[in-house]
Amino acid sequence: MIGRFKGRTGTWIYGYLFVKIGIHTFYKKHQAHNIETVPYNKKPIIFASNHQNAFLDPILITVVGKKNTYYLTRADIFQKPFLNKLFRGIYMLPIYRQRDGGDPKVRNQETFNECYDLLSNNEAIIIFPEGNHAGQHHLRSLKKGLVRIGYGAMDKYGEDLDVHIIPVGLNYSRFDGFQSEFLINFGKPIRLQEYLEDRKKDEVRTINKITARVSEAMSNEMIDIQDLDHYNAIDEMLYIYPREIDKLAGRNSYTLYDKFIAQKGLIDKVEKDFKENPETATTVSSNIENIIDFTKKNKLKYWLFEQASYSSLGLLFSILLLIIGLPFHIYGVINNYIPYKIPVWFVQKKIKDKTFHGSFKMAFGVLFFQIFWLLQTGIVALLTNDYLWIIYAISLPVSAMYSWNYWKFYLKTLGKLRYNKAIKTTEGKSVKQKRDEVAQYILNLNKHAV
């Protein structure tokens, strides 16, 4: 049975390099925390992960681990023979749901048997026990299938099979944003062998107990907002108040994991305070909603509120830099606009589910830039003498990055101009005051906890 999984080394190497390029270009920062503790190739592993970003979730877990890792995904995408072969070639295994027709238990048995075989060979499988993906910082109820698969492998190959369930927390700063951040946390393994005696006494209760433990462990490794009544307010706090969150946590180092711990600390304190003080929860949530509405209406970013206003001299200097750098930006746009715009257009027009946006943007972006750069370089090589095409080829990625940073600088300058105008209005002054009140509320949370 295990022979069917061999012969994919080329697919894995190409896919790894392809995604690795995508990670370094699509994301501004990324980090895999505690990955060195994962017993790759030594133990059978089931990664139990939250599911927030469609295809990207399993791909990122696989790439940071540098090992071909199998994962279960919805069966409807396997219907056509070509796609079935393609998806299985990149380590995907189908899982059937009630909506797919037939008896899911019967149809999934072949997939489960494949999982048992993989685990017996100390392979790794990714399972998303929430059942589907959702673009929220919230862990939903878990299905019990991952525990049953683990014990199914032990039933087939013996109780000596030391199946490890490893809780994984995927944390994206923005689910679909270019140059955003992502952190993957790997938790302490949960060994199914520890529960063998309990399982013999009461299997159902034991499976429920393990599932609850996995849920708690996953929650510890991810941004998990449990107060759904005030979810939007708490979630937006993470973006509106990064400086205040750092001060609240006494944070003096700046890895993504340190940022994660600081955000977890804020959420714990806010949720506790909101529960004890409903009136405060209502006031803070209302202020946050006002800030959100004001920034959207005036096309502003949250970081602009960190200053009362921006100096005219500084803005004048920024405009001067934009004028000087405009010719280089135009060169970058001419040579890179099409491969950049096609994925963005496709995602906006064709992909309704926003949790798929990041996946398609990264995949198509890497693909189209490679294709267009090769074509453009080939054309220049045919039309010019000597080795001018080499200089041109080097200029393509350099000009692409320059144009992207130029555009960000332009948007920041424009944002400062808009902010200076908007903040002088009566509504602007009111929103700025509410923003400062919530900032002070966050800084006082440590006092509330004493």
Please check whether residue 449 lies inside any domain of the structure.
Answer: no
Q: What pLDDT score does 352 carry?
A: 65
Asked whether residue 391 falls in the same domain as residue 337, the answer is: yes
CATH number at residue 102: 3.40.1130.10
Give the end of a domain, one of 173, 204, 220.
220
User: Predicted confidence band at 58 (pLDDT cuts at 50, 70, 90)?
Assistant: confident
Are the C-beta atoms of 311 and 420 separated by less than 8 Å?
no
Intra-chain end-to-end CA distance of the chain, in Å? 60
For residue 15, pLDDT over 60 is answered with: no
Q: Are 378 and 268 part of one and the same domain?
A: no
Query: How do 180-186 and 124-127 pair as beta strands?
Result: unpaired
Together in a domain, 86 and 136: yes
User: Regarding predicted confidence, which is higher, 208 or 251?
Assistant: 208
Segment holding 170, helix H or strand E: strand 164-172
The answer to whether residues 184 and 250 belong to one domain is no
The answer on 295 and 369 residing in a single domain is: no
Q: Which domain holds residue 388?
A: 312-422
- Using only C-alpha atoms, what is the Rg of the chain? 25
For residue 437, is it within any domain?
no
The pLDDT value recorded for residue 359 is 63
Same domain, residue pair 6 and 102 = yes
On whether residue 42 sits in a domain, the answer given is yes
- The full DSSP string for 22-79 is HHHHHEEEEEEESGGGS-TTTS-EEEEE---STTHHHHHHHHHHTS--EEEEEGGGG-
User: pLDDT value at position 427?
Assistant: 97
The confidence score (pLDDT) of residue 390 equals 93
Q: What is the pTM of this model?
A: 0.84
Return the DSSP state at 384. S
- 């992909």: which residue's tokens? 351
Of residues 348 and 187, more confidence is placed in 187
State the pLDDT at residue 236.
Answer: 96
- Mean pLDDT for 409-427 is 97
Q: Distance (Å, rounded) from C-alpha 314 to C-alpha 87?
A: 53
pLDDT at 408: 93
Does residue 140 lie in a domain region?
Answer: yes
Q: What is the largest CA-CA distance in the chain?
A: 80
Integer angstrom CA distances of residue 77 from 42, 100, 103, 358? 32, 10, 18, 19
The residue among 134 and 257 whose pLDDT is bigger is 257
- Examine the domain organization and report whether 131 and 89 are in the same domain: yes
Helix (H, G, I), strand (E, B) or coil at 205: helix
Q: Pick the residue with more confidence: 208 or 106?
A: 208
Q: Distance (Å, rounded) from C-alpha 290 to C-alpha 284?
A: 10
Confidence band of 358 (pLDDT split at 50, 70, 90): low
Please choose, from the candidates 271, 314, 318, the residue with its C-alpha nearest in 3D space to the C-alpha of residue 445.
Answer: 271
Q: Return mean pLDDT, the chain.
A: 87
**Last-in-domain residue among 300, 334, 360:** 300
Residue 122 lies in a domain: yes
> Does residue 33 lie within any of the structural domains?
yes
The full length of the chain comes to 450
163 within 8 A of 191, measured Cβ to Cβ: yes
Q: Is the dihedral of CA 418, 419, 424, 428 positive or negative?
A: positive
Query: Encoding tokens for residue 265?
Result: 């600390």
441 within some domain: no
Q: Of 192, 220, 248, which marks where a domain is finished?
A: 220
Same domain for 82 and 167, yes or no, is yes
Sorting pLDDT into bands at 50, 70 and 90, what band is 387? confident
Does the pLDDT value for residue 413 go beyond 70? yes
336 and 295 co-located in one domain: no
Quick one: 126 and 235 in the same domain? no
- Are 257 and 186 in contact by the 8 Å Cβ rule? The answer is no
- Per-residue pLDDT at 71: 86
Q: Identify whether the C-beta of residue 193 lies closer than 8 Å to the C-beta of residue 44.
A: no
Q: Which pLDDT band holds residue 356 (cuts at 50, 70, 90)?
A: low
Beta pairing partners, 48: 127, 167
- If you average pLDDT over residues 247-257, what whole number do you get? 86
Residue 9 reports pLDDT greater than 60: no
Closest alpha carbon to 290 in 305, 279, 276, 274? 305
Look at residue 271 and tell me if it is in a domain: yes
Q: Is 47 helix (H, G, I), strand (E, B) or coil?
A: strand
Quote the percentage of the chain above a pLDDT of 70. Answer: 87
pLDDT band at 252 (very low <50, low <70, confident <90, very high): confident
Q: Which residue has the tokens 């003498």?
A: 385
Identify the pLDDT of residue 355.
Answer: 57
The DSSP 8-state label assigned to residue 202 in this structure reads: -
Residue 19 pLDDT more than 70?
no
Confidence band for 187, pLDDT divided at 50, 70 and 90: very high
Residue 329 shares a structural domain with residue 349:
yes
Number of independent structural domains in the chain: 3
Chain segment 155-166, per-residue pLDDT in tens: 999 999 999 999
Are 201 and 242 within one domain? no
